Chain A
Amino acid sequence: MKHNTFLGAVLGAMICSATAYAIEPGEAAPAFTVKNVKGEEVSLADHKDKVVVLEWLNHDCPYVKKHYGSGNLPKLQETYTAKGVVWISINSNAGVNASDLAARSAKEGSKASQVVVDPDGKVGKAYDAKTTPHMIVIGKDGKVAYNGAIDSINSTDAADIEKADKHVVAALDALLSGKTVELAKTKPYGCGVKYAK
């Protein structure tokens, strides 16, 4: 058998390349414990048997501003927490400050169940959170049911919110009525999460 060094080198490079491990729909959501902006511990395990939303954010990102400035995210938070969903907003950026985030969340009208800080990026990396916003929806069975973009239009224009396919809404409505989530994974859009080096 002819040994082709080019093929060997390429295959070798592929096997050795390290990529972050994305949590695929159907996999168990990684456990975590993290502090909220009041300094209290919040664990995923506290919310067993509930539908949980993890929402990565950074209020300085124009994509997050699109969804808060328009009232879209606060409205989703209010609507779904009223239906028993636990909504956890997470900032995994290096240097995130709890009291600054508390003030900013209040200013932006957040209605999340919890706003948590993850400055060392442990939770973000466990979920391979790439952008802000990046949405993970976890079913009552503790498995990831949706991973990806908040909706279908990659833009910073609030006028696009109404026109877009509302991926997270669709996932939550399906889970809450005991149905399968049809679109379980999409490419998230937003600013990169600024992980600590």
Chain B
Amino acid sequence: MAGMKFSVLFAAGLPLVAPLSLSAAVKSGHAEAELIAGVSSYQPGKSFPVAVRLTVDPGWHTYWINPGIGGMPVKATWTLPDGWKAGELQQPVPKRFMTGDLPGFGYEGETVFLVDLTPPPGATGEAECKVKLAWLTCDDSACVPGDAELSVKLEAGDGEPGKDSELFKAAGEKIPAEKELGFMVRENGDQLTLFFIDAGEIDLSNVSAFPATPDVVDPADPIKIGKTRDAWMAYAKKSEYTEGPVTQLDIVLSGGKLKQPLLLSWRAEK
């Protein structure tokens, strides 16, 4: 009898061991979280993406890496097999919103964060990758935290993409790509002047700008970029919480004529 069952399974084309590449959605507070692997198996030594999909109830929002005033960024704490590494949560371009009187940056509805996981060169066998997520959702009248423990299990194999390739492609398009550009910040009292200089003549008309480094730019400042003589520039109000001179700013540019969102970084010369 057992033998017949065995052959029936084969006939149905079902794998004997199915990789658990999707963690069941967990609802907590006003959001639901899922963890999805981007591959159907891992290759030792080769990074692969996983997706954290957070779906926030209508009327509520959650927060970006720079939350603005009064919010909290999504936190991910990984528990991985020995030698495995997890990168940072790669955050898509946020939107600006107000929570009551407080300006902030973050997300409404469905958001997909990507994380690169890297198995060590000698990795073998089944790997369980667990993440503990914590987030904050707010609306104008209240804030409610949420958390979830999610995991995916993968076997070693050929590292082929999983069945959710569209999800990963769409998520990737919303995550800013680092770009080398002549991006410079000058401080003048309460004001910052941002310069964007590109010999290749990038077009920044109607671009939205978001300060990724917290507490440098006042979150209420829209950072309107305009063309002046040879450079694209913006004036922005400094955050009232800057400690000492401004020495760094990461900025996300999106929209306008840009084919993809960009992440520019400026660090003061030492």
Contact = CB atoms under 8 A, between A and B. Distances in A.
B100 A192 contact: yes
B72 A14 contact: no
Contact of A62 (B70, B145, B235): B145
A189 B69 CA distance: 7
Interface string A140-170: 0000000010000011110000000000000
A133 to B, nearest CB: 11
B241 A190 contact: no
Interface string A178-189: 000000011101
Interface residues of A, number: 32
A194 B215 contact: no
Contacts of A187: 69, 214-215, 239, 241
B240 interface: yes
B226 A155 contact: no
A10 B224 contact: yes
Contact of B226 (A10, A19, A61, A186): A10
B65 interface: no
A148 B69 CA distance: 12
B72 to A, nearest CB: 5
Contacts of A193: 100-101
A10 B100 contact: no
Nearest to B191: A14
Interface in B124-182: 134, 136, 138, 140-145
Contacts, number: 74
B186 interface: no
Contacts of B239: 187
Q: In the complex, which range does the number of interface residues on chain B fall in?
A: 20 to 34
A186 B70 contact: no
A130 B228 contact: no
B90 interface: no
A68 interface: no
A6 B140 CA distance: 34
A77 interface: no
Contacts of B237: 14, 17
Contact of A11 (B101, B102, B215, B235): B235
Contact of B70 (A17, A20, A189): A189
Contacts of B134: 155, 157
A192 B228 contact: no
A175 interface: no
Contacts of A190: 70
B23 interface: no
B224 A130 contact: no
Contact of B220 (A19, A148, A156, A185): A19
A110 interface: no
Nearest to A2: B229
A122 to B, nearest CB: 15
A63 interface: yes
Residue from A60, A156, A190 having most chain B Cβ neighbours under 10 A: A156
6 contacts: A6-B226, A7-B228, A62-B143, A156-B72, A186-B241, A187-B241
